[in-house]
Amino acid sequence: MACSRRNLLLGAGAVIFTTGVSKVAFGKKSLVATQEDGDKRYGMVFDETACIGCTACTDACRETNNVPEGVSRLTIERSAPMGEYPDVDYTFTRVSCQHCDNAPCVTVCPTGASYVDLKTGIVDVHSDKCVGCGYCLAACPYKVRFFHPETKSADKCNFCRDTNLKAGKLPACVESCPTKALTFGDLNDPTSEINKVIASNAVYRSKVELGTEPKLYKVADTKGEIKR
Amino acid sequence: MGNVKLTIRTTISFLLFICIYGFNFSVTAESSDRQAVNASTDSRHQVTFIRDSDDACTQCHKDSKETRQGTHGEKTALKLGRDLKCVECHNTVGPNHRENASQVTKYSAAQSQIGTHKTLLDFDAILKATDNCTECHTPERLQEKTWVHDVHAKKATCSSCHVIHADGEKEGMQALERKAQIAQCVDCHKDFNLNQEGKGD
């Protein structure tokens, strides 16, 4: 037994030190926290009260990101008509990737093709790593993923990460909206416009009860049925 | 004498018989003739008005009748069973029409929200202006065509997007591709934003 008191104390100290440090350094590193610590955490606000349903955003997205016909990264869903002539009204909502902090599509991906970019908080796909198993399509509670007919990879909105955002511009949908129904920005920056819009409007996020922590906020329309 | 009477009577009855027989022939011949004529030139007996009720209008508004053909031409005539007249849409032509045309119903672009170059009308005025159009183009049929009609019912006159006196072919919204139609939405709605921003400054 070559275990002297000195060695035991040193060993115990070392154990306590390393576990303590690791707890401080890595303990908070859940997916959500990492992005909040990171440089940027991009999100979007869609104002249902401002949207006129013109679908200029859908077309702009298609052109900018070369999305072929038949599939789309972004659609505007129109409700059934409400009311009688001449007061018939509709509501519109945005259907696109919500860029979840806790994205189910990333969790289920067996190859690591689906990932959350830690620098921006954008959920994206490495098209060369995707094997087309379709798990992410099934796992997404918002049903916004599709297979790209040309690359055969899973595809979806990535806030124009490799097109407009790269060029220092706003995402194509935000730029094309005639009524300024879309606000894009950094949720980490307390002075950003997006945080002001969120603070000054009654916003909601879809299916928050699933714990996906989506970063697409919607300003609730007062017409029609209750949204959540 | 008895013989003479008998002869006269026989002659008369014989003549009568011949007359009736002959008449019978002539009647059948004539009626078959007339049928043949009727079948070949049916339109010959249709009565049309010699005087064109639009004549007074087209004296000055020379091209208006032709330019209407693209939108309210043959198809409309087929559905209505008659041709449209100027006054059916442009009613209330007053006696002082030549001096001042303000009394005639006109169909011009107008909207309920302030735009840079657009005429402003309130909801009621717009509904009144589109009244004549919605009589045939009923709200149900308009909704069937596109939902956009619904949301603009009180907010823009038909002429804001459609050209009623189109030159031959269709003009305005209907002549555009889907993308160009969306551009039309963007043009107007962006205009409102710019105006409101200008006001705020």
Contact A56, A79 (CB under 8 A): no
Q: What is the pLDDT of residues A214-223, one digit of tens each?
A: 999 999 988 8
Closest partner residue to A88 among B153, B182, B185, by Cβ? B153
Contact status, residue B149 vs residue B162, Cβ threshold 8 Å? no
- Is the CB of A90 less than 8 angstroms away from the CB of B139? no
Per the CB < 8 Å rule, is A88 touching B186?
Answer: no
Would an 8 Å CB–CB cutoff place A59 in contact with chain B? Answer: yes
The predicted pLDDT at position A45 comes to: 97
Spatial contact of A140 and A105, defined as CB atoms under 8 Å apart: yes
Q: CB under 8 Å, gap of 24 or more: what pairs does A195-198 form?
A: A197/A45, A197/A47, A198/A45
Q: Are A156 and A176 in contact (CB under 8 A)?
A: no
A27 has pLDDT over 50: no
Whether A88 and B151 lie within 8 Å, measured CB to CB = yes
Residue B55 touches partner A, C-beta closer than 8 Å: no
Question: Closest chain B residue to A51 measured between Cα atoms?
Answer: B189
- A88/B154 CB distance under 8 A: no
CA dihedral in degrees (B33, B35, B37, B41; nearest 10)? 180
From A156's Cα to the closest Cα of chain B, the distance in A is 22
Residue B151: Cβ within 10 Å count: 18
> Which of B139, B185, B187 lies nearest to residue A85, judging by beta carbons?
B139
Cβ–Cβ of A85/B153 closer than 8 Å? yes
Which of B147, B62, B125, B64 lies closest to A79, judged by CA?
A: B147
- CB of A85 less than 8 A from some CB of B: yes
Widest distance between CA atoms in chain B: 130
Question: What is the residue whose two structure tokens read 């916003």?
Answer: A203
The count of C-alpha atoms lying within 13 angstroms of the C-alpha of A10, restricted to the half-sphere facing its C-beta, is 5
Q: Please indicate if any CB of chain B lies within 8 Å of the CB of A208.
A: no
The CB-side HSE value for A156 (13 A sphere, CA atoms) comes to 27
In this prediction, residue A25 has a pLDDT band, given cuts at 50, 70 and 90, of: very low
Q: How confident is the model at residue A160 (pLDDT cuts 50, 70, 90)?
A: very high
| pLDDT computed for residue A21 by the predictor | 53
Residues A64-106: tens digit of each pLDDT: 999 999 999 999 999 999 999 889 999 999 999 999 999 999 9
Q: How far apart are CA A162 and CA A185, in angstroms?
A: 16
pLDDT in tens, A120-139: 999 999 999 999 999 999 99
Length, in residues, of chain A: 228
Distance CA A109, CA B176 (A): 44
Average pLDDT over residues A159-181: 94
B139–A contact, CB cutoff 8 A: yes
Of B143, B182, B192, the CB nearest to A59: B182
How many helices and strands (H and E) does chain A possess? Answer: 7, 10
Q: Which two tokens stand for residue B180?
A: 């160009």
Which structure tokens are listed for B115?
A: 């735009």
* Closest-CA distance of chain A to residue B193, Å: 7
ipTM: 0.74
pLDDT in tens, chain B (201 residues): 568 888 888 888 888 877 677 666 555 545 444 444 444 556 677 776 667 778 888 888 888 888 888 788 888 888 888 888 888 888 777 777 777 666 667 777 888 888 777 788 888 888 888 888 898 899 999 999 999 999 999 899 898 888 888 776 677 888 889 999 999 899 889 888 777 765 544
Tell me the pTM: 0.74
Q: What are the distances in angstroms from CA A177 to CA A59, B142, B182?
A: 11, 26, 11
Best of A52, A69, A76 to substitute, by most chain B Cβ atoms within 10 angstroms, is A52
| Residue B18 in contact with partner chain A when CB distance is under 8 A | no
CA B102, distance to chain mean position in Å, is 23
